[in-house]
Amino acid sequence: MGTAQASISPSTLSLLPRGSGRRQAAILASPVSVGSVAQALARYDEFAEWYEQWIGDAPPLIAAHAGLLPAVTGERVLDIACGQGRMSRYLARLGADVTGADISAAMLAKARAAGPEDIAYVRADITRYPAWWDGRPFDGCTCELALMDIDDLAGTLSTVTTVLRPGGWFVASIVHPCFPGSERGRSSWPPGGGYECEGWWTSPDHNPGGVRIRVGATHRKLSTFLNALLDAGLEAERFVEPPAAVPTYLLWRCRRR
């Protein structure tokens, strides 16, 4: 499929320094390809209002597991695929110096509106080289339940290792690749396709009250995730599978070599 440049809308350019906040920025790091990434952008823009009401502002999944997230007070942290800013705000409350990055202008508008002003939000395709980055290494990166919405896993993890200092950490949560489905929703993999069937998919049989029927999901095998982390130069420190009748979520902390 061909590519085309996406225009930068007025809402994208609306982030200017304001109040007493340290900085605010809206940056489109690079042209957005017409294809899977652009479609993901359009899907989340369309459902931003619904998503904000659906997800609320409860503590993120990462916050529920003591010992997973390092101490972040005074640390520079990049929150990848920050959406409406729930994880970013949690990190800021812990005393981190937070930058949130997302490709959806509508989701970033929700994040900016919620504050606080000292969180910097950038609009960027996280799978590409971070042209928005000022070159100062981050101490850590987070990604809360979003890697299933990013088609290019290798590109995303390349950005993580690019912006992290040596020894910097990466904490993430995902829907478990081995999730077989339950009353909460369909399996991680497409119906009829099985665990081996990797890639983006959607189905009208998704939970009608959930997010996946609206935006779909990208299934990857567990080994795909683990090998991608290793290939990116990220060494595993800890994995967490929250107690459940079936594998539902997977969380990890890695370090840049």
The CATH number of residue 23's host domain is: 3.40.50.150
191 is a domain residue = yes
Q: What is the pLDDT of residue 45?
A: 64
Domain that holds residue 107: 12-256
Least trusted range by pLDDT, from 41-50, 108-117, 153-162: 41-50
Asked whether residue 34 carries a pLDDT value surpassing 50, the answer given is no
- Give residue 193's pLDDT band: very low, low, confident or very high (50, 70, 90): confident
5 is a domain residue = no
Q: What is the pLDDT of residue 176?
A: 97
Q: What is the pLDDT of residue 43?
A: 63
- Give residue 155's pLDDT band: very low, low, confident or very high (50, 70, 90): very high
Number of domains present in the structure of the chain: 1
Between the ranges 32-41, 203-212, 222-231, where is the mean pLDDT highest?
222-231
237 is a domain residue = yes
Query: What percent of the chain clears pLDDT 70, i.e. is strictly above it?
Result: 77
Q: What is the pLDDT of residue 37?
A: 42
4 is a domain residue = no
Asked whether residue 36 carries a pLDDT value surpassing 90, the answer given is no
Dist CA 113 CA 189 (whole Å): 35
107 vs 205, which has greater pLDDT?
107
Q: What is the pLDDT of residue 86?
A: 92
1 is a domain residue = no
Q: What is the pLDDT of residues 37-94, one digit of tens each?
A: 444 455 666 676 666 766 777 789 999 999 999 999 999 999 999 989 999 999 999 9
What is the rounded average pLDDT of the residues 215-228? 93
